[in-house]
A and B are shown apart, each in its own frame.
Chain A
Amino acid sequence: MAGSGTAHLRTDRERSLVVDDLVVEFPVTHGTVHAVSGLNLDLLPGETLGILGESGCGKSSAGRAVMQLPPPTSGSVHLGEVELTGLKAREMRRARARMQLVLQDPVSALNPRRKVKDLVVEGLEIWGWAERRRDTFVDELLTSVGLDPESVREKRPHELSGGQCQRVCIARALALDPEVLICDEPVSSLDVSVQAQILNLLEQARERYGLSMVFIAHDVAVVKNISDRVLVMYLGKTCEVLPSDGLERNALHPYTRLLLASVPSEADADRAPAGVEAAPGSKAVELPSPLDPPSGCRFRTRCPLATDRCAAEEPRLRELRPGQFVACHHPDPTLADPTLADPTLADPTPEE
């Protein structure tokens, strides 16, 4: 099916997180939602893996299933040496604390009835303080994420801006000294100017704490900026795994290319205004239902290159360039449209 396979896993390296054949399904009234169908991924220590996809592609379900919130329908998750699936409740909670989650909406991720000084040390209250002293540690934590302890310590979430709330969430996650940080769309509800602050903060935190990070988002440029490696998902399947460096030029999977072509930019103005029927891509194509995903390659219903083979046979991930794995029967490199890949056209900023 569109994109399984384990060719991209680096079994010969030391890995901080390994996810094998992860399947997440939810029963609903009229059938089963196939949110994630056989996802494989691994994460090296200190590496950031970006998971890119649109809403409904299963990227958030995958992130939560890795945290075992709730546990996946099948598949295994190894955190270091520990196999998470099938752990007892108490051990599971302890293992979960070694991974941390940063969510999309920072305001609703914080209990509205509690104060910042209690929120940031929530994890420590659960797991014990070790030798830390509460008053100084709260301030250290807040300072480390760029908040002024004096002004925010006694506040409740609704008195803070979205960016400040996201800083509190990040501080709370870092307080437990996790090995893996899973960020689920951490900047998509924030303003552009604040988004950059949070991305820089995550980058600093990753360096300072030696974190491995899974960064889930729909914005290609954001994912490219923060990741070392990018995994593109579509309808619960992997389309492509590739290094983030040069992603905009090297992407081979038709879906990745579609995502890149959809990035709005000044270049859109250069295309001749065509009639509605003629405008490429303006014809509405419905996303297939995750209740009943297409056979073979799941992207074939929207793919310009689809053939009968795509309906019959599921493509598997193959290494087409060093470090770049593509699950597509027709990954024609000539597909790369120079106007789409030209970085200067996708760039509204002048170079200094």
Chain B
Amino acid sequence: MTTPSVPDLLEVTDLRTVFHTARGDVRAVDGVSFRLAAGETLGLVGESGSGKSVLGRTVMGLISSGPTTTVTGSVRIGGHDVHALKPSARRRLWGPEVAMVFQDPMTSLNPVKRVGTHLTETLRRHLHCSRTEATERAVDLLRQVGIPEPARRLRQYPHELSGGMRQRVVIATALACDPRLLIADEPTTALDVTVQKQILDLLGSLVAERDMAMLLVSHDLGAVAGRTDRVQVMYAGRTVESGATRPVFAAPEHPYTEALLASIPNLAHPPHTVLRAIEGNPPDMARPPLGCRFAPRCGRAAAGCTDELPLLVGVPGSAGVTGREVACHHPVGLSAPLEGNRHGR
């Protein structure tokens, strides 16, 4: 999918986001790297505390170094190093280069502004078009996101719309300046089941039509399974496994991915099937375990796991084809430990 000569739209290299809190430094994102090309959709999955949402926001540049936060590593969007830019220059990226859809459409829309105002403001700021032009484009955008009677909706306030409708407005706002990269942070979590599907369908077809790249951050494995080309599984701030979506879900290499998939109730199983729960709780990110972060909850953990942090390395056999990578001393599908992931802590 990616040709080496064309630089990828998004390049994230060894990104770390550390929050300085009263309880100590929380390493929410701890050395994550990935690339994303135009037209491609990458899913970031993980449970709460895995750092996936912080990662999304750091990529966007919404989280950057400051008095309580330190960001290291680099994020390049279309060649611009997001965290090296001045805040004003970074704001100019938001809209034409990268846009974000947030989880809760109620709080990401300003309740005292009309739907139209949300859209036209963005359009006029970035594209410098006139009021009438902006309104025309706004109607067009609402139509593109499947909102019936767009002209009437422009004059309504967010509270007059249903949750699904509001999320469509949020998506329309994000699309206003034709971004090349869309970051969707749990875009369907606050919505009803039947509406979730509509919104995911909408995002999928928009990405296809516009040749955008999308970063889909979600805890919903089902949603990520059906909507992404590649997936990156996060646990405790680190990537534990990545690769093309279908093989990762069909034959997970990392014990965490495997356990996570097995713990979801499955419609195909008869009622009262005992679920294979992952015992314990995700680690406290202010005091992460030494070695592999998942070792304390892992069924395959051996002595070495608790003191050596496994690196993300290519899985032999499939490497080069799908770019399958796993960070584990004892991957599920392999009997022998992987070469190259040993590294003193």
Contact = CB atoms under 8 A, between A and B. Distances in A.
Interface of A: 54-56, 161, 163-164, 191-197, 199-200, 203, 218-222, 224-228, 244-245, 247-248, 258-269, 273-277, 279, 281-284, 286-287, 343-344, 346-350
19 contacts: A54-B194, A56-B192, A193-B260, A203-B274, A221-B264, A224-B271, A227-B271, A245-B271, A258-B194, A262-B194, A264-B220, A265-B222, A265-B225, A265-B226, A269-B246, A281-B201, A284-B198, A343-B268, A349-B264
A193 B277 contact: yes
Contacts of A265: 222, 225-226
Given A264-B220, A346-B268, A55 B192 contact: yes
Contacts of B278: 193, 196-197
Contacts of B180: none
Contacts of A222: 265
B38 interface: no
Given A56-B192, A199-B275, A225-B266, 19 more contacts: A163-B281, A193-B277, A194-B277, A196-B276, A197-B278, A200-B274, A218-B193, A220-B267, A225-B269, A225-B273, A263-B267, A266-B249, A268-B204, A279-B205, A281-B201, A282-B146, A284-B198, A286-B162, A348-B222
B269 to A, nearest CB: 7
Nearest to A229: B271
Contacts of B273: 225
Contacts of A287: 162, 192
Contacts of A286: 162, 165
A259 B209 CA distance: 27
Nearest to A52: B193
Nearest to A248: B267
Contact of A224 (B148, B201, B263, B267): B267
B151 interface: no
Contacts of A220: 193, 267
A226 B206 CA distance: 37
A164 B265 contact: no
A200 B275 contact: yes
Contact of A284 (B164, B262, B271): B164
B222 A276 contact: no
Contact of B267 (A276, A283, A347): A347
A44 to B, nearest CB: 15
B225 A276 contact: no
Contacts of A164: 281
B279 interface: yes
B227 interface: yes
A249 to B, nearest CB: 10
B259 interface: yes
Nearest to A220: B267
B281 A225 contact: no
Nearest to A246: B270
A221 B266 contact: yes
B202 interface: yes
Contact of B144 (A192, A248, A276, A281): A276
B272 A218 contact: no
Contacts of A200: 274-275, 277
Interface string B188-212: 0000111011101110111011000
Given A248-B267, A275-B205, A277-B146, A192 B219 contact: yes
Contacts of B145: 276
Contacts of A161: 281-282
B194 to A, nearest CB: 5
B276 to A, nearest CB: 7
The 7 closest A-B CB pairs, nearest first, are A268-B226, A343-B268, A196-B277, A264-B222, A196-B263, A225-B265, A193-B278
Interface in B103-153: 144-148
Contacts of A248: 267-268
B71 interface: no
B221 interface: yes
A263 B226 CA distance: 10
B275 A276 contact: no
B318 interface: no
B54 to A, nearest CB: 16
Contact of B249 (A194, A225, A348): A348
A98 B166 CA distance: 42
B48 interface: yes
Interface in B254-298: 259-279, 281-282
B226 A245 contact: no
Contacts of A262: 193-194, 196-197
A259 B148 contact: no
